Amino acid sequence: MPELPEVETIRQGLARKILHKSIVAVEVRKKRMIFGRISDFIRSLRGVHIAGIDRVGKLLIFKLSQKDRYLLVHLKMTGQLIYQDKKTLIAGGHNFPKIEKLPNKYSHIIIKFRDGSHLYFNDLRQFGYARIVGEQEKNKIRAKFGLEPLSPEFTWVNFQKVFSAKKTKLKALLLNQQHLAGIGNIYADEICWSAKILPWRPAHKISPAELKNLFNSSKIILARAIARGGTTFSDYRTAEGRPGGYRRQLKVYGRHNLKCVRCGRLILKKKINGRGTHYCAHCQK
């Protein structure tokens, strides 16, 4: 599943391509990918343009030029957004089968712009969705997300509040979108390793000094991952069509039975709350 750095990479890539382009046609091939009626969905998009692209956690928020209208897109497990014009094909999302022709059988929503370019919402497993909402609904949905790491609210004081008095395991808390927005399995493991904290420790037992490390690690790791266009597995591509360059920077995720780059002992893996978790039993306490 694309996490915050991957979704932010798509956001930035699309912002360079589709802003202020007007939409001339919309096709919905799979009803389950949208909320509400297909005809309403199409009517909301046709004739308007994308005025801005925002993100909270893993959710993309397209501001439409029509007053009080937003298009929300969540890629979930296997969603992909692919932009294509005469010269370029740029794509973001996860686990790409090679894109040979567009649209293909995974293209469930197709948006056509006035200049002839297209935006395809492809999804192999169809857990992703697109929906049109008004300002009020958009704000309600936004409010369900916890602290967003790239926002000005991501401060040391607010970070501490997320962890205080919570008996939950650290990793479960990091993954809980209502507490922290956008962190998934890859970056949760990386952040815990970087902060030298074992991911199953109860959150309220983590000392202020350790928590400060966790706060700093979260900022640094997410920023570095975005700078490199996210993490690539199999055929993941950034919105610019390049493989995400952060994979080689991963210190624990996917490295079980390999040596810890900090202490040389083997990285171990076990399940925490059902999620495969990578850690170093020696340098994480």
Enumerate the active-site residues. Answer: 2-3, 58, 275
Minimum CB distance to Zn ion, residue 91 (Å): 36
What one-letter code names the amino acid at 218? S
283 contributes a contact to Zn ion by CB under 5 A: yes
Nearer residue to Zn ion within complex by CB, 188 or 260: 260
The interface mask with Zn ion, positions 240-269, x = CB under 5 A, is: --------------------x-xx------
Contacts with Zn ion by CB under 5 A: the residue count is 6
Minimum CB distance to Zn ion, residue 256 (Å): 13
Angle at 130 (CA atoms; ends 126, 134), nearest 5 degrees? 155
Minimum CB distance to Zn ion, residue 173 (Å): 22
**What are the DSSP calls for 93-144, one per residue?**
ESSPPP--SSS-TTEEEEEEETTS-EEEEEESS---EEEEE-HHHHHHHHHT
Residue with tokens 């897109």: 73
Binding to Zn ion, residues 160-179 (CB under 5 A): none
220 contributes a contact to Zn ion by CB under 5 A: no
Q: What single DSSP character describes residue 266?
A: B
Which helix (H) or strand (E) covers residue 188, if one does? helix 185-194
> Measured between alpha carbons, how far is 193 from 48 in angstroms, rounded to an integer?
46
Minimum CB distance to Zn ion, residue 261 (Å): 8
Q: Which one of residues 71, 211, 214, 280 is an interface residue with Zn ion (CB under 5 A)?
A: 280
Nearer residue to Zn ion within complex by CB, 26 or 283: 283
- Cα separations (Å) of 280 from 4, 40, 222, 261? 24, 52, 20, 10
Which stretches of the chain bind Zn ion, using CB under 5 A?
A: 260, 262-263, 280, 282-283
